[in-house]
Amino acid sequence: MAVELKTKEHIRGIRKAGRIVAACHKALSKRIAPGVTTQEIDRFVERFMLDRGAIPAQKGYKGYPFATCASVNEVVCHGFPDSEPLEAGDIVTIDMVADVDGWKADSAWTYAIGRTNNAVEKLLLTAEQALVDGIKQAVLGNRLGDIGYAVQTRAERAGFEVVTAFAGHGNGKSVHEFPEVLHSGIRGQGMKLEEGMVITIEPILTAGKADVYITTDGWTARTRDGAWAAQFEHTVAITKAGPIILTRWE
Ligand code: MF3
Ligand code: CO
């Protein structure tokens, strides 16, 4: 299970795709509002990528039928876009992968629709901060367990659980590469981080129990207890100069 280390040239390639993903998320952050459907969001994302010379790489990946995953409220991830209008107070995670010249970049973001209550706000802020904490640990000399530990600690101190059924991953010419990046763990354990690793960190936090199930569509993951879930994901390169967020919003 070899990890493919990337050269500076490769990382530049992934960053090209990452810039499009980031710009697309930024555009979505201004568009997502009550009444918008996830189908409309999906079409917007697909158009946005194609217009910029990128391919929406989730479409067709292992048979997944859409450009985006759109996961509303208690949907944990891999939700199908549909014609249901989003309502004020909902949250939706939009996950997307762009491919430019074969290089992939992957980022998910949870958006609040209109106003949300304080508890939901806290879930979103904590999940985003857990991602930030994880990224800070993505430095040479550390191990994967340091990333997982940082994410898990942030989540649990705020009273949330990490959904451990899903993990981050290596990223490059393929959507999913080695290593698997767990969002829980023990400091100093797991694979050593090396220069040229490109990984995603993508914690999913829930306000309830972390148990999930897959619905009959074969993709949509929901919490068993119906508690809401939030996810923030970046594609990150590990370099001598520290972690570089390749999907950072500009
Ligand atoms: N972007 C997702 C991830 O973070 C990929 C989901 S698989 C798909 O790993 F088929 F839904 F695209
Ligand atoms: Co991912």
User: Is residue 34 one of the residues assigned to a domain?
Assistant: yes
Check residue 55 and give its pLDDT.
Answer: 98
3-class SS at 47?
Answer: helix
Which atom of ligand 1 lies closest to the CA of 95? 1
Residue 11 has pLDDT above 80, yes or no: yes
Q: Is the dihedral of CA 185, 203, 120, 122 positive or negative?
A: positive
User: Is residue 36 one of the residues assigned to a domain?
Assistant: yes
Residue of 106, 163, 217, 220 to test ligand 1 pocket, by largest number of atoms within 8 Å of CB: 106
Give pLDDT tens digits for 30-76: 999 999 999 999 999 999 999 999 999 999 999 999 999 999 999 99
Which residues lie across from 96 on neighbouring strands?
A: 68, 107
Which atom of ligand 1 lies closest to the CA of 233? 4
User: Is residue 226 one of the residues assigned to a domain?
Assistant: yes
User: Is residue 3 one of the residues assigned to a domain?
Assistant: no
User: Is residue 200 one of the residues assigned to a domain?
Assistant: yes
Check residue 62 and give its pLDDT.
Answer: 98
User: Is residue 103 one of the residues assigned to a domain?
Assistant: yes
Residue 249 has pLDDT above 80, yes or no: yes
Residues with CB under 6 A from ligand 1: 58, 61-62, 64, 69, 78, 95, 97, 106, 108, 175, 200, 202, 233
Give the range of the structural domain holding residue 165, as residue numbers without chain letter.
8-245
Domains held by the chain: number: 1
User: Is residue 138 one of the residues assigned to a domain?
Assistant: yes
Which atom of ligand 1 lies closest to the CA of 61? 10
Check residue 13 and give its pLDDT.
Answer: 98
Check residue 75 and give its pLDDT.
Answer: 99
Ligand in closest contact with the CA of 220:
1
Residues 229, 211: Cα–Cα separation, whole Å: 11
How far is the centre of ligand 1, averaged over its atoms, from the C-alpha of 7 (Å)? 24
Residue of 21, 46, 175 to test ligand 1 pocket, by largest number of atoms within 8 Å of CB: 175
Q: Cβ atoms within 10 A of the Cβ of 153, count? A: 15
Check residue 1 and give its pLDDT.
Answer: 74
Question: Residue 73's domain is classified under what CATH number?
Answer: 3.90.230.10
- Sheet holding 212-214: strands in order across? 75-77, 221-223, 212-214
* Nearest CA residue ID for atom 8, ligand 1: 58
Give pLDDT tens digits for 199-243: 999 999 999 999 999 999 999 999 999 999 999 999 999 999 999
Q: Is the dihedral of CA 235, 23, 82, 109 positive or negative?
A: positive
Give pLDDT tens digits for 152-193: 999 999 999 999 999 999 999 999 999 999 999 999 999 999
How far is the centre of ligand 2, averaged over its atoms, from the C-alpha of 136 (Å)? 18
User: Is residue 1 one of the residues assigned to a domain?
Assistant: no
Residue 240 burial (10 A CB sphere; 0-12, 13-18, 19+): exposed
